[in-house]
Amino acid sequence: MATGKTITERDGIRTITTHYIDGAFVESHGREVMDIIKPTNGKVIARVTLGDEEDTRRAIAAAKRAFVTFGRTTKEERSRYLRQLHQAVSARIDDLTAAMVEEYGGVVRFARLIVQSGIDAFPAAEKGLDELPLTRSWGKTTVTLEPVGVAGLITAWNANALFISLKLASAVGAGCTVVIKPSELSSLQTQVMLECLDAAKLPQGVCNIVIGRGNVVGAELVRNPDVAKISFTGSVAVGQSIMRDGAATMKRVTLELGGKSPTILLDDAALEQAIPSALVLAFMNSGQACAAGTRLLVPKSRLDEVKRAIRDEMRAFTVGDPADPKTAVGPMVSQNQYERVQSYIRKGIEEGAEVLVGGEGHPPGFALGHFSRVLTDFREAYPRIEFVVTVNDRVIDPVQEGFDLALQIYPAASKPPASRCMTSSISQSAK
């Protein structure tokens, strides 16, 4: 049943019971209800009814019907739709930012950047579409780029508006129709995005969104033969299962999987510039980002001065209310995430890691919610940063195993994470 309302509210708790299917807000067929918990105080702020396989199949069917026409659109038509999306999402930047701060606990100064980056995806896709030739010929060969069909877009919880916008912009530019499964932890943020999509007035069925669990909605997208493409952002384990299960219907699969990256400080780096930059990289998005530089590898000759610099600089990284522009680190997204962080802090301490700043438990003044003390020298979960004494769960003796060996600890059979180098010499970083 279609409805014009996306959220109702009673006694301070908002209720979400709809998905966006075939150009309308539709009551959920699935009946499971999940609480949305505010990470700053642990209180219920909303309840969302999660979609099931039937909701997902309805969305896929709508996207399949729409593709018959949308797949034949011209560059000019797709560009117009991308401009409509850009206008609609741009108009709600304040609402999207506020929802990310409230529901996810993202600090406002970073949350707005995340939302703006998502908004920027639409003109970027339009530019790419304009510059990309859809037909190329050489000799007797002609290659034409055509949309693959219905795309299933599965996004993570740590940058909801950004992930939806990036994937949707690419799909629309390519001429694909979509079914999006955002994280159920981002339901309030998703509702704002749904209203943006409705305001953009895309053709009916081009963009459909079903809120639900990965092992229900996501699994149906992966196994359904009417879905030609899966784009997934999330964990390695889930990515492996998508690759495996998608093979049964020969799906094209694109995976953006979680991983943590080191920042490499070379022996000629200026610490007064390098350390603040390294900490910003480590604690971006409260450390809940695959791009966060959560390990800092330093030459053994500079270890002591690096430790002193970190202790001094951490005074600027305040934990607090994410709505306060002065706050650098907010709460973890959920109680499970908080407990995971705490377990790894304990593990590091038990294994002998030296605590530079912070430790176990809540920071002073923040007993409620999912706030964590921000820094030790060993963390295995968000937020995490390691300083040479530990690398990839392995204790490194700075006297016995210097900088060069630390760079070689990744087995050749595994994929090393991306890294950043900090040095005063471009030629030095090239080495």
Residue with tokens 């009417």: 226
421 belongs to the catalytic site: no
Count Cα neighbours of 252 within 13 Å in the Cβ-side half-sphere.
8
207 belongs to the catalytic site: no
Q: Read off the amino acid at residue 97.
A: T
Instruction: Supply the Cα-derived Rg of the chain in whole angstroms.
Output: 23
Helix, strand, coil shares, percent, the chain, to 5: 45, 20, 40
Among the listed residues 256, 339, 360, 401, the single catalytic one is: 256
Among the listed residues 290, 313, 380, 386, the single catalytic one is: 290
Which string of b and e fits 87-121 if b means at least 16 CB within 10 Å?
Answer: ebbbebeebbbbbbbbbbbbbbebbbbbbbebbbb
- Of 247, 194, 201, 252, the C-alpha closest to 223 is 247
Those residues with Cβ within 8 angstroms of residue 120's Cβ, 6 or more apart along the chain or in another chain: none
CA 394 to chain CA centroid, nearest Å? 27
Question: What one-character-per-residue DSSP string does 228-286 give?
Answer: -EEEEEE-HHHHHHHHHHHGGGT-EEEEEE----EEEE-TT--HHHHHHHHHHHHHGGG
Q: Could you give the CA distance from residue 32 to residue 372 in angstroms, rounded to a whole number?
A: 30
Cα angle, residue 298 at apex, residues 277 and 375 outer, rounded to 5°:
60
Residue with tokens 């940063």: 385
Residue with tokens 């970190």: 310
CA 201 to chain CA centroid, nearest Å? 26
Q: Could you give the CA distance from residue 286 to residue 278 in angstroms, rounded to a whole number?
A: 14
Q: Could you give the CA distance from residue 10 to residue 166 in angstroms, rounded to a whole number?
A: 34
- C-alpha distance from residue 189 to each of 97, 104, 152, 328 (Å): 9, 9, 19, 21
Q: Could you give the CA distance from residue 357 to residue 242 in angstroms, rounded to a whole number?
A: 39
User: Which residues does the annotation mark as catalytic?
Assistant: 256, 290
